[in-house]
Structures are given as structure tokens and as C-alpha cells.
A = this chain, B = another copy of it.
Amino acid sequence: MIELEQLQHLVTFQECQTLSKAAKQLHISQPVLTRSMQKLEEELEVNLFNRTKNKIAFNETGLLAVSLAKRILDDTKDMKKQLVDFDRKLHTFAIGSCAPAPLSYLSRKFSQFYPQRTLLTEIKDMYILIKGLKEKDYTIIIMPYDIENEQIESIPFMEEQLFFSLPLNHPLAHKKSISLKEMDGEKMLLMSNIGFWNDMHKKTMPHTKFLIQNDRSVFYDLVELSTLPSFTSDYVMKTEIMPQNRVIIPISDAQSHATFYCWYLRENESQLRTLLYHL
């Protein structure tokens, strides 16, 4: 049977033009190449070269063989790549979320129960999440409302309440609670990549200019050093150290509260049971 190694030799030979150069490039000795090419000709039952005493050159058939060999070698390299990709996808647990807090929570849970598995997490728009769940790009998606149908099941696992974080000398700093509307129009600091909260802010506070920060530590520095109002949440306050020069005031609107649900395909229920049980 022909072997891929021989085809690789053939292609390298063609690229290098002489057996000796090809041998160097392949890190083998010339005699090996001589024999390899002889064997290939035997197995293919065709002459691939014009040989003189100390010269060996490709004939037409040989050149055709090179082009066919290249294709086969490419295919096998592709094969490996495809399999590795497929396998990774198979063993990767992908979580898509509409917000950062529940994703952070679920990630931690996940790594407790499946420490060896690869985890992929994303914050995306909700319509993308739903599409991705159906197409099995996500094993689980995190949504701020529930659902129940033939394919999809959802279970609630976490709540999050937003607060305003105001500097001590802010005019509203003394209040017990503040509505979104009351704050609308002020400049505010905001983290980027906060999922559906972003949409909520834009809708409920259309006159506010949000100063978006990508970097979390820069965001915290700005919160501490500037006098700009910002948002925080009960989850963030539990998990992060909060600055001292701020007043935390509840937001009165219902939109500032979310219940997060795990959505998953019923067909995957068995493999998810452990995780779901411990949420």
C-alpha cells in the first residue's frame, strides 16, 4: 500500500528538485529518498522519473503524481484539524449569557463540578443566545425570563438587583431609593459588555450620557476617584471590594431587578443533572 510518508517525500523532492536537497529538508539521508521513490514507482506501477546515471528528474506522470499527492496530503492534514476541532466542540461546555453576574456565578459552579472540561463563555444579545442554544453552539444559555416548550426547559437560579452608586456629596445621596427617571440626564460611568442591562439603561435613561469603560480595574479606579454616578448590584457588592466614598441607593423601578434562568435543551438534561442540581 502507498504510504503518506512516500507522498510527502515525493512532494518535497519536487519542491527541492534534487534528492539531496530534499533529504536535507526532510532530515533524512539520500539513500532513504532513493529507495522511497523507487518503492513508490513500484507500488503505483508507473515510472515517475527520467533517470540518468546521476540525475533524476520528473516526467509528466511524475508531475501529475505530485499534484495528486499534494491534494491527498492536504486532505489528511485537514482531517486531523477537523477531528481536533470536532472533538473540542464535543467536549466544550459553552455558556451564553445575557448578563455578566449570572455568568460569573455559573462559571464558578461549572468549574467545581466539571474541572477537567473546557468552558467557553460569552455575553451576547438574547436573540443570538436562543439561536445558539437551538443550534447547539451553547449547552446552556442564561436568560432574564423563563420558557417551557418541547425542546427547551428553564430553571431559575439567581436574582440580581441594581443600585445606584453615588458620591457622598451627590444631591440625591440622602434618599432611601431613587428611580431611573430621577437620574436620567446625568453623566454616568458604565462597564462595557454588561449584556441586556445595557439595553435597559439606554431605554430607561435616554438622556444620560454613559461613559463606557472596557477595563474593570480602570472602571473601579474611576468610580473611586471621580464624582460620577455609576451602577452596582447586590452580586457585585458580594464579590468585589467596594469603595468607601460612595453611597449605595436602591433603584425603585422593577426593571432594575432580574431573575436569571438557565435554559437548556431537554435532550441534554442527563448530562446537566449534576450541575443543575447544585445551582
Chain A residues at the B interface, C-beta cutoff of 8 Å: 1-5, 8, 43-47, 60-61, 64-65, 68-69, 71-72, 75-76, 78-80, 82-84, 86-87, 90
Contacts and interface: CB of A to CB of B under 8 A. Distances in A.
17 contacts: A1-B8, A2-B76, A2-B79, A2-B80, A4-B4, A43-B80, A44-B80, A46-B83, A46-B87, A61-B86, A61-B90, A64-B83, A64-B86, A65-B83, A68-B75, A68-B83, A75-B75
Copies in the complex: 2
B4 A84 contact: no
A198 B2 CA distance: 50
A124 to B, nearest CB: 26
A69 to B, nearest CB: 7
Given A68-B79, A72-B79, A47 B8 contact: no
A45 B86 contact: no
A46 B5 contact: no
Contacts of A82: 64, 68
Given A61-B87, A64-B83, 18 more contacts: A1-B4, A1-B5, A2-B4, A2-B76, A2-B80, A3-B3, A3-B4, A44-B84, A46-B83, A46-B84, A46-B87, A60-B86, A60-B90, A65-B83, A68-B82, A68-B83, A72-B79, A75-B75
A65 to B, nearest CB: 6
Nearest to A64: B86
A44 B75 contact: no
Given A3-B3, A61-B83, A72 B69 contact: no
B60 A79 contact: no
Contact of A69 (B3, B79, B86): B79
A43 B3 CA distance: 15
